[in-house]
Amino acid sequence: MTKIIITGKSWSWKTTLSDHLEETYSYSIPYNYTTRKPREYNKKDFSEYLFVSRLYFEHLRDSGQLLNWTEFNWNYYWTGAQLYWEDNVFVVDDNWRQDLLNIFPDAITVWVEVDSFTRRKRLFDRGLRGEDLEARMEGASEQMKATDSCYIIDWTAPVEESAKTLIELINEKQWAWKN
């Protein structure tokens, strides 16, 4: 099965696309880990992470059990090395995208594009206000950009339509590889 690497700015709904690929097209999503504390907005945790201690992270890193990790706002984020080989769709930041492409050079990369107004509204609806909201809008993911090698998904289309288009592109690419 083709590996898919999904990137985009925070709250462009990358995970919504990956969840739809998992539910409808049988792609697998690896567990992501972080040392940050869970966030609760309106009594819901919108996170796709498993929360662990910094000590556990340091143990995994120092014993070579991490293929890749990143630090953001004094917290660590990673996926265990074994999961990279087992799963098929990854939601990652720009640095991880490059690392994954080194491992899976034939992976399909996807950039989820969404306008700032929509992102700001989603963050506000999530419960973020003031400095927290602005930090998410201006954070490291703002530096990320689509590359020439990415398929760009415009989030104004319904997720079902975007996922179907992506699968059609993948099928076309696989057919081209065989010929």
What's the pLDDT tens digit per position in 79-131? 765 555 555 787 877 667 887 788 778 888 888 877 888 888 878 887 878 88
Q: Look up residue 37 and give its amino acid.
A: K
What is the pLDDT at residue 178?
44
Helices H, strands E: what count in the chain? 7, 8
Task: State pLDDT tens for residues 140-172.
Answer: 454 555 555 677 777 777 889 989 988 888 887
CB-side neighbour CA atoms (13 Å) of 172: 6
User: Nearest CA to 7 among 103, 107, 99, 91?
Assistant: 91
Which of the listed CATH numbers 1.10.10.10, 2.30.40.10, 3.40.50.300, 3.90.1300.10 matches domain 4-178? 3.40.50.300
Predicted pLDDT of residue 24: 92
Confidence grade of residue 177 (pLDDT, cut at 50, 70, 90) = very low
Say whether 64 sits in a helix, a strand or coil: coil
Residue in 1, 73, 81 with CA at minimum distance from that of residue 33: 81
Contact 141, 92 (CB under 8 A): no
**Amino acid, res. 103:** I
- The span from the CA of 77 to the CA of 71, in Å, is 6
Query: Reduced to 3 states, what is the DSSP secondary structure of residue 21?
Result: helix
Long-range Cβ pairs for the range 65-74 (8 Å, 24+): 67/99, 67/103, 68/96, 68/99, 68/100, 70/95, 70/96, 72/139, 72/140, 73/36, 73/135, 73/139
Q: Which residue has the higher pLDDT, 24 or 90?
A: 24
pLDDT averaged over every residue in the chain: 76
Query: Cβ contacts of residue 163 below 8 Å, gap of 6+?
Result: 17, 20, 21, 24, 25
Buried b (16+ CB within 10 A) or exposed e, 72-105: eeeebbbbbeebbeebbbbbbbbebbebbbeebe
Q: What is the pLDDT of residue 49?
A: 73
